Amino acid sequence: MKVKRALSYLRHRLSDIEEEDYAQKEALEILAHLLGVSPLNVYLHAEEEISEEELQRILLERLKGKPLPYILKKAYFYGRPFFIEEGVLIPRPETELLVEVFLSLGIDEGLLLELGCGSGAVAVTLLLERPKINVLALDISPKALKITQINARHFQVENRLFLVRANWLTSLKEGPFFRAIISNPPYLSTNEWTELTPEVKNFEPMTALVAGPKGTEYQEILIQEGLKYLASHGIIIFEMGYNQASRIKDIVRGWSYRFYRDLLGFERVILLWIEGENT
């Protein structure tokens, strides 16, 4: 089957389970995988032949509800392909805002702490974008640490990335070690978990998504304890749920803060600092 025909076919079949724009995006990702190119370059190969058997295998799994990154073992983040497997949270486009906020601050060196590294997409991206920084990345999941290490090696930043299995801040010695603490923590409530689509509940790790009854449990610990680990002029950046900004405002007493909105207009990321010590 030629790529041009396959694109139309995939878009039509995938639109049965998702919106048309997303069907187009996933069709391009499937063809990019089969061609060994980036999604943006698929159109340059319109007349090439691809394996219809492999295309059908991927499509069948997707139509059964399995997330495409787990099928392809690849997820794009900040324009780069990251290795991914089931058991590790799929990086989302909204989380790219964490990276953008950090990069906007002009911090070019120092040691950063990432809490909950998952696939390593955030840590590896920061190391690639800022060649003089180092990152200590923590995660409770051995598989997440393994996947992060694979991605760090692939992008050749493993010498500046230090991985530790730990449950949030509990294993860290207090001290002014970090120029910044960055996190995309679990931020769903237990009730919100029950309302998620089967595609998420049946495949993605609950521990990477659900914080507890409120949904802000991890963020509250970071706000209350984070200053103990920050160097002078240190900052905290973390992601939140689309409906959590008002609750976060109620617990950031003592901090100066700024919210950043995602592409849908939701307050998605917060930057925290102590007044007089901001960068």
Q: Which pTM does this prediction carry?
A: 0.94
Burial of 48 (0-12, 13-18, 19+ CB in 10 A): middle
How far apart CA 34 and CA 28 sit, in angstroms, is 10
Q: Are 177 and 135 in contact (CB under 8 A)?
A: no
- Which residue matches tokens 């190391």? 127
Q: What span, in angstroms and rounded, lies between the C-alpha atoms of 197 and 55?
A: 25
Max distance between CA atoms of the chain, in angstroms, equals 63
What 3-state class would DSSP assign to 15?
coil
CB of 179 closer than 8 Å to CB of 234: yes
CA 228, CA 111: separation in Å to the nearest integer? 15
Strands 188-189 and 210-212: parallel
| Contact criterion met (CB below 8 Å) for 182 and 130 | no
pLDDT of 265 reads 95
pLDDT at 277: 58
Place of tokens 């051995």: 142
**What letter represents residue 43's amino acid?**
Y
Burial of 86 (0-12, 13-18, 19+ CB in 10 A): middle
135 contact partners, CB below 8 Å, separation of at least 6: 111, 112, 113, 114, 123, 126, 127, 160, 161, 162
What is the C-alpha to C-alpha distance for residues 211 and 25, in angstroms, rounded to an integer?
30
Contact by Cβ (8 Å): 4, 11: no
Question: Going along the chain, which residue ranges are E strands?
Answer: 74-77, 80-83, 109-115, 132-139, 161-165, 178-183, 188-189, 210-212, 230-239, 256-261, 267-273
Q: Provide the pLDDT for residue 279.
A: 47
Structure tokens at 118: 């998952």
Rounded to whole angstroms, the Cα distance separating 23 from 19 reads 6
Q: Which helix (H) or strand (E) holds 192?
A: helix 190-194
Distance CA 278, CA 272 (A): 9
Q: pLDDT averaged over consecutive 10-residue blocks of the chain (279 residues)?
A: 96 95 96 95 95 96 96 96 97 96 96 98 98 97 98 98 95 95 97 93 96 96 96 96 95 94 96 76
Q: Which of 264, 182, 275 lies closest to 222, judged by CA?
A: 182
pLDDT, tens digit (0-9, with 9 covering 90-100), for 25-69: 999 999 999 999 999 999 999 999 999 999 999 999 999 999 999
What's residue 142's pLDDT? Answer: 97
Nearest to 184 by CA among 262, 85, 106: 262
What class has domain 93-273? alpha beta
